Structure 1
């Protein structure tokens, strides 16, 4: 079952997001199996929001384990992602 993963990062900035994303996307293990799509932007209240689509929660958890050291190195605060079932994910072919 596909899932929508939403991460709210209070005080997150575009600069930190871009540096972190550069590290992740250049890692030899990226993209991880099960990764479908990613979007991010300001959350409207001074923080940053990340929304990912994964084939399963297990696929997302495997990614999170690999990415955790990068998040820590970049000084990102620990956050609890919200995982919801996706009834449908439509990708642009």
Structure 2
């Protein structure tokens, strides 16, 4: 049986995809410290992302739990809660 160009290209693409899959899988199993390529500049310059909670139910919401979960991940993470009208009962936010 003769191997056509299309079959060869397909075999090469599958092989390349398998190599990428194995490399990504290997990277995920490495400890985080061994993957560090250098000091992070973003921490010295401040946070690069601000979490904005905009749309939520005024009465039945989980905004305090949401804010708390973001702050548990990174206490320096800025979180902003915005609403068109003041929610009732008032939100008991962590900070």
Q: If the length of structure 2 is used for normalisation, what is the TM-score?
A: 0.26
Compare relative contact order (CA 8 Å, sep 6+) and give the higher one, 1 or 2.
1
Question: Which structure carries more helix by proportion?
Answer: 2
Q: If the length of structure 1 is used for normalisation, what is the TM-score?
A: 0.26
Q: Higher Cα Rg: structure 1 or 2?
A: 2
